Structure 1
Amino acid sequence: MPDPRRDSISAAFAAGREAVHAVARAIHAEPEIAFEEHRAHDRCADLLERSGFAVERGLAELPTAFRARIGTGSLVAALCVEYDALPEIGHGCGHNLIAGASLGAALALADLVDELDLTLLVIGTPAEEHGSGKQLLLDRGVFDGVHLSLMAHPTPHTDTYDVLGSTSQAVGRWRATYTGRGAHAAANPTDGINANDAAVIAQVAAGLLRQRMRDGQRLALVPQQTGVTNIVPETAVVDFECRALTMPEFEQLRAQLVACFEAGAVATGCTLEIATSEPVYEPLLQDEVLGAAWNEAMATLGRPLAGSLGVMAASTDMGNVSRRVPGLHPFVGITGAGGALHTREFAEHAASDEGYRLMDDCALALAWVVRDVAADPARRALVLEQSAQLANEPRERSAASA
């Protein structure tokens, strides 16, 4: 049955589609890594400003963050825009499509904000891959007063998944630095304390820890090699991370992994310093009201659901937002894609015709979700109730991010 409101959204998106595609394709063609997305920031902000949004650039002391606003309604919805790329790989996570989908949804909704009693925000969120730009924006009040937040993420799984029941892993990242004592490797090695030995012990202990890890848990250690063979290394640096399905499991695994590094210090006599590299990414909470509306939109667009994806073997700082604001972060497959996220192969899919076709569908679906929640008194009330509950939940700062 025709829906005039959805039809008007589709028409508005069609009018802005060419401009949205131009921005998304330019972001893909000129990839920029975390906190350095200056061209992407400007392209997105310029498009929104030309389309009637009031834009704040360089938001919250982050030069590549922005917030665009249109409308003054009582329901505040935020579309999140990601645009950072991976070093050397480019857009192997499809952030050009994420940006385009949210921008397209914003343009499609712009003329309806008064009718829907809506304040529409578009928040440019840098450094999703590394740095947790969204957590920094949360800490600095950018999401204060927002009632719902949403975005859509492409995947190589090729199917369209039921968003309800899906989530992501928590992840934390740190840098361990061992300090020993240098010496000549041939003349007086016994006077040295080899920091690399401590790093090796930590890696062996972490490898043995893997047999005790639960399904869905992950860890990774990457030594940052320096030095020459004729000097006993005085320092050694290891970057490391761990992932888990829940925050309690995450905290337990983090403590076990830190103990592996402490073992290296004890065994060699080195001192150990562990520093947090970036804020912890928390698991996603998919809001049920937003998820149900998304599933309806996907069905209307002819993308049948293939069941829940469950836990996505990846992490996103949108999880942090979803635990403070009702959130939607569906994983949607590019038809015919393959490989895995964070690969050059997927970067090619993110620039394919099917990738941009998915971006168009996601833009429409995101806009329809916002419209359906804003226009339905029951859904609107449920989202506002959930927003109030999340805003009032007491929060303890994670030991892993302290």
Structure 2
Amino acid sequence: MSAPLAPGETIGIVGGGQLGRMLAMAAARLGYRTAILEPEADCPAAQVANRQIAAAYDDPGALAELARLCAVVTYEFENVPVAAAERLAAAVPVFPPPRALEVAQDRLTEKAAINAMGIGTARFVAVDSDEDLAAGLAAFGGEGVLKTRRLGYDGKGQRVFRRGPEDQVQGVFAAMGSVPLILEALVPFAREISVIAARGRDGKTVAYDPAENVHRDGILHTSTVPAAAAPETLAAAREAAAAILDGLGYVGVVGVEFFVLADGEVLVNEIAPRVHNSGHWTEAACAVSQFEQHIRAIAGLALGDPARHSDCVMENLIGDAVARVPQLLREKDVVVHLYGKAEARPGRKMGHFTRIMPPRG
């Protein structure tokens, strides 16, 4: 691709959840049409897109149809089959590139790649047996977080080990599904932050202000901007995110999660090769949201200014918390966004709201 996409062209989005929904809305604002590949009927993204291809993500006929319809294809979640992304890339530009998808899908590969870029992470070891787990725990002082290497999100597929007789390793590998695992050393972090950054087709990068994140039961609860960390720490996080973008030859928006240590050092926790929940605040506190930024990047347009005009706190509406919406709509300086999901279930993200306020100082 060289010239930017012209208005009226179609952007393909693999995945039909709320991130795909918000990408489709941003694309429409810039004059683009969207086609969604998603097997679930009446998915959140299809409610606002121009077309849905209701088929599996790796369906050859559906992939061929998506490539035929679209000038460029992106994806809204990192568990898209890499082979499907590569098949699409043989026929139409795919951004972020399939390599970024492949790196992010395996936690061991991801951390090794980040370390190879000279960026720090928690210590880690591969676990393919109970014996590997015992050896890893011994190396990490008896503590660590055991995770599936693939397909985990929102705290799923994880087990925490702390010193004590209750943490027996016998049978754990089988209990975790006998799939490849990774053991990460526990990090004594002071806070968690994330950076939403973007890289254009011309290699230019921009980054939003880091957000400070609070999780509950493994799911993001709030993102607060500005984060309560030293300027040097925030700058280091931005620089690390830019280095990851360049190292992957990335195009589009990425979410990079960090642990901040007591001395201000940052360690990468994980990367998400897509728009990210901790960047939802940008739609309320910035002129150019992360969703528009992603569309700009993959369409070959100029990247927008990531500066914010307000301080803010974004909060997810999980499960029955969506019942708070009528009251939230009565409040001043609150921006509500619902995802079009019919059923509220425990742990399900139904929407979010962002409370904006004048910037301090």
> If the length of structure 1 is used for normalisation, what is the TM-score?
0.29
- TM score, norm. by length of structure 2: 0.31
Which structure is higher in RCO with an 8 Å CA cutoff and minimum separation 6?
Answer: 1
More helix by share: 1
Larger radius of gyration: 1
Indicate the structure with greater strand content: 2
